[in-house]
Amino acid sequence: MNSNSMKTVFFMILLMVLFIGLGGILAGRTGMIIAFVIAMGINFFTYWFSDKMVLKMYKAKPVTENEAPELYSIVQRLATKGQLPMP
């Protein structure tokens, strides 16, 4: 598991713990269960849809190497250096 994945898992667990703690403080055991379900829903939604939301928000579109060779080269170098797949 790479560093970015570890950070993502950490923050998702942190969010869940905070929600469950707040639910427990506000409504006891029932609040904890409700907060757990809400946190799971938020984590699921965030994990599966956040990338699509950001791309749509900035009206992103795929760029080929022929359209912008300099940009493509920069992204390719960054992906290689970061040991990440090309987007």
Summarised one tens digit per residue, pLDDT across range 31-76 is: 999 999 999 999 999 999 999 999 999 999 999 999 999 999 999 9
pTM metric for this prediction? 0.69
The tens digit of pLDDT for each residue in 5-34 reads: 899 999 999 999 999 999 999 999 999 999
Q: Looking at the predicted structure, is the pLDDT value of residue 80 above 90? A: yes
Q: Are the CB atoms for 10 and 38 separated by under 8 Å? A: no
Q: Is the pLDDT of residue 87 over 90?
A: no
Q: Looking at residue 2, what is its pLDDT?
A: 83
